[in-house]
Amino acid sequence: MGILAGKNVLVTGVLRENSIAFHVARLAQEQGATVVLTAFGRAAKLTELAARRLPTKPAIVPLDVTNQEDLEALAGRLREHVPHLDAVVHSIGFAPQSVMGGNFLAGEWADVAVAVETSAFSLKSLAVACRELLAPGAGIVGLTFDASVAWPVYDWMGVAKAAFESVARYLARDLGPEGVRVNLVSAGPIRTTAATSIPGFEEMESRWNERAPLGWDVADPEPAAKAVVALASGWFPATTGEIVHVDGGVHCLGQ
């Protein structure tokens, strides 16, 4: 019996096998969950290909978290595959390259707004869209990148992540009385498709392994995925509003 045996889990953001979300879906299935994926736009083909590489090919529903019609239709689409949800995994983020890579002062609101809506407000949008399906004790888990400091090249995406972390705290406050937990995993740099699209990403990852007390492998998404699965399970029944760092320990150092 796995820690997600008999549970239904919605996982967003599965694109390729190097994504954290892919390994969350894989581990969730291995731990006994029925997994449903979401797919968006032209990237839907990538999600379809990745889904075939999971232990069991999951159902896939369309979802653009910035589209109100999609959000309103989500619960109905999910009910075609599962009666309720025990966990929702938010692995969605996007910012135009014009607001990253050292362009902080040149960032314009139109582009920043895209980053904030897609990467931060979407957590609230997804939670509300799934709310009627969430079982008591359900867990919402999101992925972040430590927004307590200013990183090189991350720029307005870092600001969006700070907003994302704040949104999680407010959701924890408002959904807690319904028995729903909201937590985040702050992963170290992983060489995913999304990360490598950040201009200058190699600058962020270059010294991480030597700084991390436990060491760090930028090519291994599994440690972060395991933390997501653990938080999604019932093994953290009284934990909400938390950020669990899975970064080899870099966050705790003063260097």
Q: Catalogue the active-site residues.
A: 154, 161
Contact indicator for 165, 180 with CB cutoff of 8 Å: no
Residue 159, SS3 per DSSP:
helix
Count of Cβ atoms closer than 10 Å to residue 177 Cβ: 7
Residue keyed to tokens 């888990």: 141
Contact indicator for 119, 160 with CB cutoff of 8 Å: yes
Bridge partners, 109 (sequence order): none
Tokens of 9: 């889990």
The one-letter code for the residue type at 44 is A
What strand order describes the sheet that includes 181-187?
Answer: 59-62, 34-39, 8-11, 85-90, 134-144, 181-187, 243-246
| Closest C-alpha among 54, 182, 82 to residue 126 | 182
Give, rounded to a whole angstrom, the gap between the first and last alpha carbons of the chain: 42
Task: State the Cα–Cα distance between residues 57 and 44, nearest whole angstrom.
Answer: 15
Q: Count the residues in the chain.
A: 255
